[in-house]
Structures are given as C-alpha cells and as structure tokens.
C-alpha cells in the first residue's frame, strides 16, 4: 500500500539529510559494500529470524562480489545489542540492519557515534538522519487467510492462538475476523492468549482446547508450527506463520503468510551502492512483495483459492483495504464510518477488537 503524500515528504527530508554525506558515499564504493545484519534469534528458528536471513541470502545472490554480508545471531535485546552493532560498524560495515523491536535504542545510540554508517531498524518508530525504519503489513495476509477461513469453516468459528495484545497482533486478529465476516456474517474468532511468542507445547494445547470448544480451523500469531501439528492430529485445517510450514502438517496446512524481506533488502543495498540511500520509513506489504501468501495446496477448493486470489490482487492494486468502514467494535459501537479507511497511525496503536472477536 502506498501513500503518495507521505512518501513525497519523506523523500524530501531524506535528500536534505543525505547531502552532508556526499563525499563519503564515493569512498564507500571502493571495495565491496559491507552489509551487517543483527538477529534476535537463531537463523534456524524457522520463523522471524529465518525469514530475515533468507533476505540476506537474496542480497548475496543478487549482488555477488559487490557486497560482503555479515550477520550476528542470538543477540539479546539491550546493552549486548549495542556492543554488537558498534562492533559491526567498527569492522567497516556501511549498512547495518537491526531486525528486532528491542534493538531500537541501541541502534539510535550507535548511529549517533557513526554518522557515516547507514542503519536500518525493523519494526521500531525512532528515526535519525542515518537510521531508516521498516516493517511489513502482515495484516494484509491475515485478510486473505480470514477469507479462506470464512469459506471453509463449517462451525463458523476459528481458533486464534495469540501471543501478546500489542497493536501488531490486535491488528492481525481484527483483519482476520473482518475478512471472515465478509464471507460469513455470523463468523466468530475465538482468541486464546498464551502470553508467549514461543512455547510449542502450550501452543499445541491451546489449539486442542480451541478445537474442543467448537473451533474447526486454526490460525496463530506465535512462532512455532506446533498448532499446525495439533490441527493435523485432529484432522482440521490450519495456516502457517512466517514460513511455509506444510512439512509439519501435510493435510492441515492450507497456506502460510510468508515474510519476504528480500525485495526490501535488495532495494536498500542497491540504494547504498548507488549512493542514493536516505533515511526512510517503509511499511511495505503485498504490493512490495514483503508479505507473500505461499502457494495454495491441493486441499484448498478452487472457489476458495479464487476468492483469496481476488483479495491478493486487490491489495496489490491498492483497491482493497481490509480496514475500510463500516467497522464496529466488540461493544457494537461504530469505530470506522462507512467508506473510510483507517489511517496507518491508528492501525499502529490499535487496542480494540472488531465485532465477532471473542478474546
């Protein structure tokens, strides 16, 4: 989704910000451009960090000898991160991606000490002349799977395993329910909060509990494939998270919302190589290729696939926005009037649930 006005303003700011760095840009291109990545988890988590590392590998493949990438995994959020980021900058990295919310303050602090190094921080909100921020519109993917759930659920109830009630998660639940409701007006999304991003046994138990209590399709905003395994065991359908998880649940897995950072990383590395890098605020989605719906499997009926594809196409074209009014909240109060689209700023602080969400 592109918001031309905002982009224009940002671009203007960015050009002004980039001016003092002119001479240094030329020097940066003498050898291969060194690009650093700081990960919060292991590259083998098969979720968040894995997806970022796939993006790094895409950079390597795309630019070959023109870049040299280096990554540090399992970096704890906090003082440790500052040390790691500073080390990367000292070792000659010219562009550094820090890929977790908790790296925000360390990134800003190190960026102040290295004005000629460019930093990119994922999912945060603080910027500087040499710090850009980026995130992905995962809710766009939630709207697609919500539509599929609405069409495929027989009981009209989905089970949603959620981590913590932060705007990112709330937004996803609401997008899912709104999309399902468009297909089935009586649809209900039953949420179970597990208070963790990662606890496979608990995620699986939450899925079983939801299935016991009447849900017949499962989705999650936690990191492991455990819920899919529980769905497989009960013979119902479910959706993958962050990566295609079909090997864990060959019959249950319908599709997955895949994080693909490679288009963004390639674009930004290209800008750094060209000397056109500037501090930006990017919230890309399906149109930019950052949020991808993994290929439908044979268990997805043709009409469901067609409906899902329609939403994907509409989202990419900018004609479909799931948070378009009228939207009423749990208490039945109209929150977004007919025809109005929620602003990004409101989405990013969303703390209420739409009608039909039981949490």
Partner 1 sequence: MSAVVLVSIVMSVVGVSTPILLAALGELVAEKSGVLNLGVEGMMLIGAVAGFAVTYATGSPWLGVVAAAGCATLASLMFGYLTLSLTSNQVATGLALTIFGISISSLAGESFVGLTVPIFGPVFPAALAQDPMLRLVFGHSPIVYFSLAMTAAVWWFLARSRGGLILRAVGENDHSAHSIGYSVIAVRYAAVAFGGAMAGIAGSFYSMVLTPMWAEQLTAGRGWIALALVVFAVWRPGRLLAGAYLFGLVMTLELQSKAAGFALVPPEFMAALPYLATIAVLALISVRRTGASAAPACLGRPFKPAT
Judged by the rule CB under 8 A, the positions of this chain that interact with partner 1 are 41-42, 44-46, 159, 190-196, 198-206, 208-210, 212-213, 215, 224-226, 229, 247-248, 358
> Minimum distance from CB of 249 to partner 1 (Å)?
9
Closer to partner 1 by CB, 10 or 173: give it: 173
> Minimum distance from CB of 248 to partner 1 (Å)?
6
> Minimum distance from CB of 262 to partner 1 (Å)?
19
Between the CA of residue 23 and those of 26, 27, 28, 224, what are the distances in Å?
Answer: 6, 7, 9, 47
Between the CA of residue 49 and those of 45, 58, 268, 304, 331, what are the distances in Å?
Answer: 6, 14, 19, 31, 37
> Minimum distance from CB of 309 to partner 1 (Å)?
27
Closer to partner 1 by CB, 208 or 321: give it: 208
Place of tokens 């939207």: 327
Place of tokens 């016991």: 212
Q: How many CB atoms lie within 10 A of CB 317?
A: 10
Q: Enumerate the β-bridge partners of residue 259.
A: 291
Tokens read off for 199: 């606890």
Distance CA 299, CA 142 (A): 19
Distance CA 125, CA 135 (A): 10
Place of tokens 């991160």: 81
> Minimum distance from CB of 74 to partner 1 (Å)?
8
Closer to partner 1 by CB, 246 or 315: give it: 246
Between the CA of residue 39 and those of 80, 98, 353, what are the distances in Å?
Answer: 12, 7, 31
Closer to partner 1 by CB, 201 or 302: give it: 201
> Minimum distance from CB of 201 to partner 1 (Å)?
5
DSSP state of 329: B
Tokens read off for 283: 């919230």
Q: Are strands 67-72 and 291-293 parallel, antiparallel or unpaired?
A: unpaired
Closer to partner 1 by CB, 45 or 259: give it: 45
> Minimum distance from CB of 176 to partner 1 (Å)?
16
Residue 226 sits at the vertex; the CA angle it makes with 224 and 227, to the nearest 5 degrees, is 105
The backbone region for 64, taken as left when phi is positive above 0, alpha when psi lies in -120 to 50, beta otherwise, is left
Q: Enumerate the β-bridge partners of residue 354.
A: 329
Closer to partner 1 by CB, 55 or 284: give it: 55
Q: Enumerate the β-bridge partners of residue 14.
A: none
> Minimum distance from CB of 193 to partner 1 (Å)?
5
> Minimum distance from CB of 323 to partner 1 (Å)?
25
8 Å CB contact between 17 and 279: yes
């Amino acid at each position: 989704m592109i918001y031309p006005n905002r982009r224009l303003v940002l671009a203007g700011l960015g050009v002004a910000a980039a001016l003092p760095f002119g001479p240094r840009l030329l020097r940066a291109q003498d050898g291969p451009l060194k690009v650093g990545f700081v990960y919060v988890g292991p590259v083998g988590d098969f979720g968040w960090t894995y997806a970022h590392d796939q993006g790094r590998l895409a950079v390597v493949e795309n630019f070959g000898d023109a870049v040299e990438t280096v990554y540090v995994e399992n970096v704890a959020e906090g003082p440790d991160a500052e040390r790691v980021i500073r080390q990367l900058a000292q070792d000659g990295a010219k562009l550094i991606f820090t890929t977790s919310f908790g790296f925000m303050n360390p990134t800003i602090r190190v960026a102040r000490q290295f004005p000629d190094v460019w930093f990119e921080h994922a999912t945060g909100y603080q910027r500087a002349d040499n710090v850009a921020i980026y995130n992905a519109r995962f809710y766009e993917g939630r709207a697609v799977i919500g539509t599929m759930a609405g069409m495929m659920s027989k009981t009209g109830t989905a089970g949603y395993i959620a981590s913590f009630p932060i705007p990112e998660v709330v937004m996803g639940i609401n997008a899912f329910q709104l999309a399902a409701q468009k297909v089935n007006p009586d649809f209900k999304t039953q949420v179970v909060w597990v208070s963790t991003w990662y606890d496979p046994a608990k995620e699986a138990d939450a899925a079983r509990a939801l299935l016991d209590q009447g849900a017949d399709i499962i989705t999650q905003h936690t990191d492991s494939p455990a819920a899919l395994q529980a769905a497989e065991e009960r013979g119902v359908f479910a959706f993958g998270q962050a990566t295609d998880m079909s090997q864990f649940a060959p019959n249950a897995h319908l599709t997955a919302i895949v994080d693909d950072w490679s288009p963004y990383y390639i674009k930004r590395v290209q800008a750094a190589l060209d000397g056109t890098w500037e501090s930006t605020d990017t919230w890309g989605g399906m149109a930019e290729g950052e949020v991808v719906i993994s290929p439908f499997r044979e268990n997805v009926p043709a009409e469901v696939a067609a409906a899902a594809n329609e939403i994907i196409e509409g989202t990419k074209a900018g004609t479909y926005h799931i948070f378009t009014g009228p939207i009423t909240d749990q208490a039945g109060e109209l929150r977004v009037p007919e025809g109005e689209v929620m602003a990004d700023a409101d989405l990013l602080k969303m703390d209420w649930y739409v009608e039909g969400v039981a949490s």
